[in-house]
């Protein structure tokens, strides 16, 4: 249900002579993108409407590490403008009138890392039930940034090959088909007090412990690739549970290329309350994810340390 999508933030300026026409992010025409982002967030701790649209959002649980140039937060975002009812699903009774000025806000994770001396920043944005906040954040922060620097920012999905590079030799332990298409009548299930689960879980045959290497899911010559393609036909999306040593991660697979949005599910170790991840728990999980991603993006120049490790150093 909850996942994160990694993006790379860049600023292109044709006035720069080098091939990529990119600025160092701490000095774009004398301005630091990290400092501008802090100002943007601090101005949106109260609810903010998105232009003339029916969307609204705000930041909460903001934590800023000036030394690491890292920001973590939750973004509460949703839509308003339509009247409706809020009901208790246990008995169908109405508990609240939803007026057009009322917005239902979902909770999305936000994690930004802007290391000095780099032309790219890493941004992790939460995805909930397939919906994300990339469009809102890009539009709103991009407009805020351009008004100050008079240059555009780009938010590009992290190339899928980079996101999975360190996991290529992992083995696939399980497939999950989200939005599984079934012929069963939903009303029949609900009438007898059931809850229809629309996720199909596929585990290896009893004689095997896994489905082979994770990298084989992206090789058209492999049976695993064809199997994923078949699964795509019976659901909205397919996810693979992969294991490398003692570590486990869940990736969205199928129709992935360098322009695809890579999505990585939260692990079971992330603590939840009322269906929402706890900020400290998701921060620690996401920072471990950033270790892998920063190595892929910055190579030998990567200096990122996970939040938990840095906090232990400060305590000693």
What is the number of other CB atoms lying within 10 angstroms of the CB of residue 39?
12
Q: What own/partner pairs with CB < 8 Å and gap ≥ 24 does 277-285 have? A: 277/2, 277/107, 277/109, 279/61, 279/72, 279/74, 282/109, 283/63, 283/72, 283/111, 283/307, 284/308
Work out the average pLDDT over 71-98: 84
pLDDT at 300: 79
pLDDT at 257: 42
pLDDT at 220: 85
- Structure-block tokens of residue 137: 């954040």
Work out the average pLDDT over 49-71: 94
pLDDT at 316: 45
Task: List helix spans (H) across 166-241.
Answer: 186-191, 223-232
| CATH number for region 2-82+101-158 | 3.30.310
Give the single-character DSSP code of 266. P
- Structure-block tokens of residue 160: 């899928």
The residue ranking higher by pLDDT, 85 or 250, is 250
CA dihedral 124, 130, 134, 140 (to 10 degrees): -130
- Structure-block tokens of residue 54: 């029916």
Contacts of 192 (CB under 8 A, 6+ apart): none
Domain with CATH 3.30.310 in the chain: 2-82+101-158
pLDDT at 246: 82
pLDDT tens per residue across span 186-236: 554 444 444 445 788 999 887 788 999 888 888 889 888 889 888 888 887
Is residue 312 pLDDT above 70, yes or no? no
Contacts of 3 (CB under 8 A, 6+ apart): 126, 127, 250, 252, 263, 264, 265, 266
The string of DSSP letters for 19-59 reads TT-B--TT-BTTB-HHHHHHHHHHTTSS-EE-TTSSEEEEE
How buried is residue 12: exposed, middle or buried, by Cβ count under 10 Å (0-12/13-18/19+)? middle
Work out the average pLDDT over 146-175: 85
pLDDT tens per residue across span 242-270: 998 888 888 888 764 444 567 888 988 89
Is residue 159 pLDDT above 80, yes or no? no
Average of per-residue pLDDT values in the chain:
84
Q: Which of 5-9, 131-135, 246-250 has the lowest mean pLDDT?
A: 246-250
The residue ranking higher by pLDDT, 13 or 21, is 13
SS3 label, residue 85: strand
pLDDT tens per residue across span 16-50: 766 667 888 999 999 999 999 999 999 999 999 99
CA atoms within 13 A on the CB side of 52: 0
Start-to-end Cα distance in the chain: 37
- Would strands 171-178 and 247-253 be described as parallel, antiparallel, or unpaired? unpaired
State phi, psi for 269 to the nearest 5 degrees: -70, -15
Q: Identify the bridge partners of residue 28 per DSSP, sorted by sequence position.
A: 31
């Amino acid at each position: 249900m909850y996942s994160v999508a990694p993006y790379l933030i860049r600023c292109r300026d044709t006035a720069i002579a080098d091939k990529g026409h990119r600025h160092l992010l701490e000095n774009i025409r004398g301005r630091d993108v990290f400092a501008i982002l802090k100002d943007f967030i601090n101005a949106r701790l109260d609810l903010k409407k998105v232009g003339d649209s029916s969307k609204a959002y705000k930041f909460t649980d903001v934590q800023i590490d000036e030394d690491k140039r890292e920001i973590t937060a939750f973004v509460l975002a949703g839509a308003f403008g339509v009247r409706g009812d809020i009901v208790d699903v246990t008995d169908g009774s109405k508990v609240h009138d939803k007026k057009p000025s009322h917005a239902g806000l979902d909770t999305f994770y936000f994690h930004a890392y802007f290391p000095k001396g780099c032309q790219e920043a890493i941004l992790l944005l939460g995805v909930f039930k397939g919906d994300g906040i990339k469009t809102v954040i890009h539009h709103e922060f991009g407009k805020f940034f351009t008004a100050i620097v008079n240059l555009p920012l780009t938010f590009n999905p992290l190339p899928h090959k980079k996101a999975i590079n360190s996991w290529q030799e992992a083995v696939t332990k399980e497939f999950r088909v989200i939005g599984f298409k079934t012929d069963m009548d939903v009303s029949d299930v609900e009438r007898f007090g059931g809850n229809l689960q629309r996720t199909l879980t596929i585990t290896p045959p009893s004689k095997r412990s896994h489905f082979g290497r994770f990298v084989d899911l992206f090789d058209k010559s492999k049976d695993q690739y064809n199997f994923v393609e078949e699964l795509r036909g019976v659901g909205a999306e397919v996810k693979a549970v992969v294991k490398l040593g003692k570590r486990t991660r869940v990736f969205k697979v199928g129709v992935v290329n360098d322009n695809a949005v890579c999505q990585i599910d939260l692990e079971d170790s992330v603590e939840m309350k009322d269906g929402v991840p706890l900020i400290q728990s998701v921060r620690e999980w996401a920072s471990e994810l950033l270790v892998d991603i920063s190595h892929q993006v910055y190579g030998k120049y990567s200096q990122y340390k996970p939040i938990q490790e840095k906090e232990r150093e400060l305590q000693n």
